[in-house]
């Protein structure tokens, strides 16, 4: 969030690691528990809806496989963006940052399409346990992707104004940690919700 917090108090690092990076790792630990609890909720309620539509009526695995591929490719773009910024190649750094955000947006667009389609087919939050737990779990993930896209776009605009340089590579790296984490969560969700339907 802030690029200057840790250098702020001008104290040495006892571990040699930047404080902001430790913060992000600890936050990711906490997020694991958050998604873990949501996933448990989804799994506990799997097959317990007493009215349809049921997962097997709606889930479109080929479509989600495509958006999953797009999201995973965005992680590759993120790696390239960080590499470019670390080399000081801000031109490519900007391009890859924008590409990461764009692919993230494509994934989100796919999710919006999927949600709209499900609502058309008669599945809402109130329909059954599947509706509530599915929308809450994938919606929480989508909200995380949205925050990531806003973060990446902010970094992109900072870069275009010359406020993001090689010296801030750590800022990009931390955004990357978050982004990769959100992608990894999706791999778990894709497996549990779609592949194991």
Partner 1 sequence: MAVTEAVAAEAAGLSSHPPGGTYAGGVRSWITTVDHKRIGMMYAISAFFFFLVGGLEALLIRVQLGSPENTLIDPDLYNQLFTMHGTTMVFLAIMPLSAAFFNFIVPLQIGARDVAFPRLNAFSFWVFFLGALFINASFLFGGAPDAGWFGYANLTSTQYSPGVRIDFWVIGLLILGVSSIAAALNFIVTIINLRCSGMTLMRMPLFTWMTLVTSFLLVMAFPAITVGLVLLMFDRMFGTLFFVPAAGGDVLLWQHLFWIFGHPEVYILLLPALGMVSEIIPVFSRKPLFGYPFVVYSGILIAFLGFGVWAHHMFSVGLGPIANTVFSAATMLIAIPTGVKIFNWIATLWGGSLRLRTPLLFCLGFIAMFIIGGLSGVMHSSAPTDLQQTDTYFVVAHIHYVLFGGVVFALFAGLYYWIPKITGRMMSEGLGKLHFWLMLVAFNLTFFPQHLLGLHGMPRRTFTYEADLGFEAMNLMSTAGSLLLGASTLIFIWNLLRTLRKGAKAGANPWDGSTLEWSISSPPPHYNFRVDPAVHSRDPLWAEDTSDALPIPEPEVGEPHMPGPSWYPFVTACGIVTLAAGGIAASLPVVFAGVGVILFGVYGWAFQPLEHRSK
Q: Point out which residues bind partner 1 (CB under 8 A).
A: 1-15, 17, 19, 22-23, 26-27, 29-31, 33-34, 36-38, 41, 44-45, 48-50, 125-126, 128-129, 131-133, 136, 154
Cβ neighbors of 132 (< 8 A, separation 6 or more) are: 45, 125, 126
CB of 142 to partner 1, least distance (A): 15
How far apart CA 85 and CA 94 sit, in angstroms, is 8
Closer to partner 1 by Cβ: residue 20 or 103: 20
State in angstroms the smallest separation of the CB of 75 from partner 1. 23
CB 104 within 8 A of CB 152: yes
Q: Which residue has the tokens 């797009």?
A: 70
C-alpha angle 119/188/64, rounded to 5°? 40
Least Cβ distance, residue 37 to partner 1 (angstroms)? 4
Q: What is the DSSP string of 23-58?
A: HHHHHHHHHHHHHHHHHHHHHHTTT--SSS--HHHH
| Residue closer to partner 1 (CB basis): 23 or 76 | 23
Taking the least distance from each CB to partner 1, the nearer of 10 and 91 is 10
Question: Of 103 and 159, which has the nearer Cβ to partner 1?
Answer: 159
Compute the least distance from the CB of residue 27 to partner 1, in Å.
6
Of 104, 93, 88, nearest in space to 151 by CA: 104
């Amino acid at each position: 969030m802030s690029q200057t917090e840790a250098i702020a108090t001008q104290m040495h690092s006892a571990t040699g690691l930047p404080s902001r990076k430790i913060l992000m790792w600890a936050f990711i630990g906490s997020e694991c528990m958050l998604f873990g609890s949501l996933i448990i909720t989804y799994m506990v309620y799997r097959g317990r809806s007493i009215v349809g539509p049921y997962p097997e009526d709606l889930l479109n695995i080929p479509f989600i496989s495509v958006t999953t591929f797009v999201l995973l490719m965005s992680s590759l773009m993120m790696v390239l963006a960080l590499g470019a910024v670390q080399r000081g190649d801000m031109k490519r750094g900007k391009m890859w940052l924008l590409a990461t955000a764009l692919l993230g947006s494509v994934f989100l667009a796919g999710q919006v399409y999927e949600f709209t389609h499900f609502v058309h087919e008669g599945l809402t939050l109130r329909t059954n346990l599947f509706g509530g737990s599915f929308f809450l779990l994938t919606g929480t993930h989508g909200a995380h992707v949205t925050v990531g896209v806003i973060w990446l776009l902010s970094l992109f605009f900072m870069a275009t104004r010359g406020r993001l340089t090689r010296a801030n590579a750590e800022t990009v790296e931390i955004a990357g940690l978050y982004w990769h984490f959100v992608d990894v969560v999706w791999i778990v969700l894709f497996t549990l919700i779609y592949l194991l339907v």
